[in-house]
Amino acid sequence: MRARSTAAGQKTREKIGQQSFIKQIRNSPITRYGIYGLLLLLVILLPLKAGPYWNYTIGTVGIYVLLGLGLNIVVGLAGLLDLGYVAFFAIGAYTMALLTAPQPHNLMWSFWLALPIGVVLATVTGLLLGTPVLRMRGDYLAIVTLGFGEIIRILSKSDDLTPFTGGPKGVTAVGGRPCLGNHSIAASIMFT
């Protein structure tokens, strides 16, 4: 019996020795969750210690990473060619800006209150567009989503909607910076 257990242990050690370091991490849930925890801690603490330039740069990179991951899900996993994907992102961003900025509507809501509203509005817009075009595939879906993206771009820059969206100038002085405890994460960053 003991000989079998040592032989099984030897085979396991050989398999682990043959695997690459990345595969070993993927196979070990403790190591994987430890790395996730360290990355989450880094994401939370980095903005508190980094300067304004690095906060702005990391934030911009984070936005593009989110866009890329979302597009990877839509195109890569679902197999849908969505050329107007960024329109939903723009709807959420404009919602956040309009709810937290002093101009044009003087709402000035807090970041944490406006965030779920922006997410819900972008989601509802996606559902409203996605429901009628659910059965489209390929070029037809690409044309519809490209058209929707262009409609959102034109509406956001429209002179007719300047009193509502800020027009070509956009929403200036976006407020509602996120706070963790008593520390404002983006207090030293100027948004222009």
Q: Does one domain contain both 44 and 71? A: no
The answer to whether residue 189 sits within a structural domain is no
Q: Does one domain contain both 32 and 113? A: no
The answer to whether residue 69 sits within a structural domain is yes
The whole-number pLDDT of residue 120 equals 96
The answer to whether residue 155 sits within a structural domain is yes
Number of domains the chain is built from: 2
The answer to whether residue 122 sits within a structural domain is yes
The answer to whether residue 190 sits within a structural domain is no
The answer to whether residue 192 sits within a structural domain is no
The answer to whether residue 126 sits within a structural domain is yes
Q: Does one domain contain both 76 and 141? A: yes
Q: Does one domain contain both 178 and 85? A: yes
Euclidean distance between CA atoms 26 and 29, whole angstroms? 7
Q: Are 100 and 174 in contact (CB under 8 A)?
A: yes
Q: Does one domain contain both 64 and 44? A: no
The whole-number pLDDT of residue 147 equals 93
Range(s) of the domain holding residue 4: 1-49
Euclidean distance between CA atoms 155 and 172, whole angstroms? 17
Q: Does one domain contain both 26 and 69? A: no
Q: Does one domain contain both 43 and 89? A: no
Residue 27: Cβ within 10 Å count: 12
Per-residue pLDDT of the chain (192 residues; tens, 9 = 90+): 555 556 666 666 666 556 677 777 777 888 888 989 999 998 888 878 888 888 889 889 988 998 888 888 888 887 888 888 889 989 999 999 999 988 888 888 888 899 999 999 999 998 998 888 878 877 888 899 899 999 999 998 888 888 888 888 888 888 777 777 776 665 544 444
Q: Does one domain contain both 40 and 74? A: no
The answer to whether residue 42 sits within a structural domain is yes
How far does the chain reach from its first CA to its final CA, in angstroms? 72
Residue 95: Cβ within 10 Å count: 19
Residue length, the chain?
192
Q: Does one domain contain both 31 and 94? A: no
Q: Does one domain contain both 71 and 42? A: no
Q: What are phi and psi of 62, to 5 degrees?
A: -60, -40
Q: Is 55 helix (H, G, I), strand (E, B) or coil?
A: helix
The whole-number pLDDT of residue 25 equals 72
Residue 130 tokens, joined: 């996605």
Q: Does one domain contain both 82 and 22? A: no
Q: Does one domain contain both 9 and 80? A: no
